[in-house]
Amino acid sequence: MTGTLRVLGLGPGQADWITPEASRELAAASDIVGYQAYVSRLTVRSDQNVHASDNGDELARARHALELAAGGAQVAVVSGGDPGVFAMAAAVFEAIDHGPPGWRELDVAVLPGVTAMLAAAARLGAPLGADFCAINLSDNLKPWSVIEQRLALAVQADFIIALYNPASKARPEQVHKAFAVLRAAVSGDRVVAFAAAVGRKDESLHVTTLANADPGRADMRTLILIGSSGTRLVERSSGTPFVYSSRRWSGAER
Ligand code: SAH
C-alpha cells in the first residue's frame, strides 16, 4: 500500500472542535505521531501504532513520520489547535525540504483545524473583527529581540495581537517584558483578555485593560489578546463583558 501522511489538528480542547475530516483521517491512520500531551487526548484502536514523543524536537518527529509514510504507512501527525499555526505542519515541510528527494513525492496533506486564537475570540465575542496578527512569545526558535521588535511594530500598526505561548515554567519572565513593551507604546486603556484552557473543563476568561493586567496570570495554556484602538467592551450585568473590534476604522488612536 502506498504511504500517506496527514497533518491534522485536534482543536484547542473541546472534542467537537475537531473537524470531521480530521476525525476521518485519524480513524484511517495506521500510525499516529505526535507530542504525548496531544496523543493522550485520542481514543486509539488496538490496530493503530502510536508514536508519542515527550520532547519538543518537532523536526525529529516530522522525519520519523515521513520515514513511516515512505515505508508504506498511513500516518497521521497530530498537533493541538490547527496544525499549521506554530505547530507540526511547518516542521513536516522543513523536513521534506532538507530530506531525501523521495519524500517530495509522498502523498502529504495538511488538514485545517481550529486554532486557539479563534476559539478564544469566539468565547469573548468578536475581538478579531478588524486587522490582527499572531505572535509566538516563545524564544526557543527565535531571539527575544525579534519578538520585542515585532510587538512594538504590531501595536504601532494598531493590530489586534494574539499572543501564543506567553509563558511556561522555563520562561516565566518574558510575558512581563512583553507587557512592558506594550505599555511603553500605547495607552493603558487598551482591552486585554486572558483566555485559558479554552474548550476544556478548567476554561477561564479574564477581561481587563493593559494598565490593570497582571501578566503573571498567563501560563502555557493561556492565549492573550491585546485589543487595538478600536476594540470595545459591551458590559453586562453579570458575566464577562463581550469584546469586539468594529470592522469600521474609528480614526486616530485613543
Ligand atoms: N497549534 C496550536 C498552537 C500551538 S502553540 C493552535 O493552533 O492553537 C501552544 C499555545 O497555544 C499555548 O501556549 C497557548 O498560548 C495556545 N493554546 C493552545 N490551546 C489553548 C487553549 N485551549 N486555550 C488557550 N490557549 C491555548
One DSSP character per residue, 202-229 reads: T-EEEEEETTT--GGG--TTEEEEE--T
Q: Which residue's alpha carbon is nearest to atom 2 within ligand 1? A: 81
Question: Are residues 80 and 137 both part of a single domain?
Answer: no
State which of 110, 131, 166 marks the end of a domain.
110
> How many A from CA of 127 to the centre of ligand 1?
17
Tell me: do 161 and 241 sit in the same domain. yes
Tell me, yes or no, whether 130 lies in a domain.
yes
Assess whether 146 and 235 both reside in one domain.
Answer: yes
Residue 240 and residue 123 share a domain: yes
**pLDDT of res. 56:** 78
pLDDT of residue 238: 87
Alpha-carbon span 1 to 193, nearest angstrom: 49
Inside any domain, residue 252: no
Q: Over its length of 254 residues, how does the chain's per-residue pLDDT go in tens digits?
A: 689 999 999 999 999 999 999 999 999 999 999 999 899 889 999 999 999 998 779 999 999 999 999 999 999 999 999 999 999 999 999 999 999 999 999 999 999 999 999 999 999 999 999 999 999 999 999 999 999 999 999 999 999 999 999 999 999 999 999 999 999 999 999 999 999 999 999 999 999 999 999 999 999 999 999 999 999 999 999 889 999 999 998 765 54
Gap from CA of 231 to ligand 1 centroid (Å)? 22
Bridge partners of residue 196, in order along the sequence: 204, 222
Domain-embedded: residue 159: yes
Ligand 1 is surrounded, with C-beta below 6 A, by 12-13, 79-82, 85-87, 115-116, 120, 164-166, 195-200, 220-223
Q: Are residues 43 and 94 in the same domain?
A: yes
d(CA 19, CA 8): 9
Q: Is residue 81, in this structure, part of any structural domain at all?
A: yes
Q: Which domain holds residue 192?
A: 116-245
**79, 110, 141: which is the final residue of a domain?**
110
210 lies in the same domain as 163? yes
In a domain, 148, yes or no: yes
On whether both 146 and 232 belong to a single domain, the answer is yes
Nearest CA to ligand 1 atom 11: 164
The predicted pLDDT at position 55 comes to 75
- Does residue 212 share a domain with residue 100? no
Say yes or no: 160 and 241 in one domain: yes
Domain assignment of residue 253, yes or no: no
Among residues 76, 93, 110, which one ends one of the domains?
Answer: 110
Q: Indicate if 125 and 241 belong to the same structural domain.
A: yes
* Centroid of ligand 1 to alpha carbon of 33 (angstroms): 19
3-state helix, strand, coil split of the chain in percent (to 5) is 30, 25, 40
| Domain containing residue 45: CATH number | 3.40.1010.10
Residues 56 and 175 occupy one common structural domain: no
If you measure from the C-alpha of residue 195 to the centroid of ligand 1, how many angstroms do you get, rounded to a whole number?
10
Whole-number Å distance, alpha carbon 66 to ligand 1 midpoint, is: 25
Would you state the pLDDT for residue 252? Answer: 56
The CATH number that applies at residue 207 is 3.30.950.10
Give the total number of structural domains in the chain.
2
Task: Answer yes or no: do 38 and 156 share one domain.
Answer: no
Q: Determine, yes or no, domain membership for 32.
A: yes
pTM summary value: 0.96
Residue 225 lies in a domain: yes
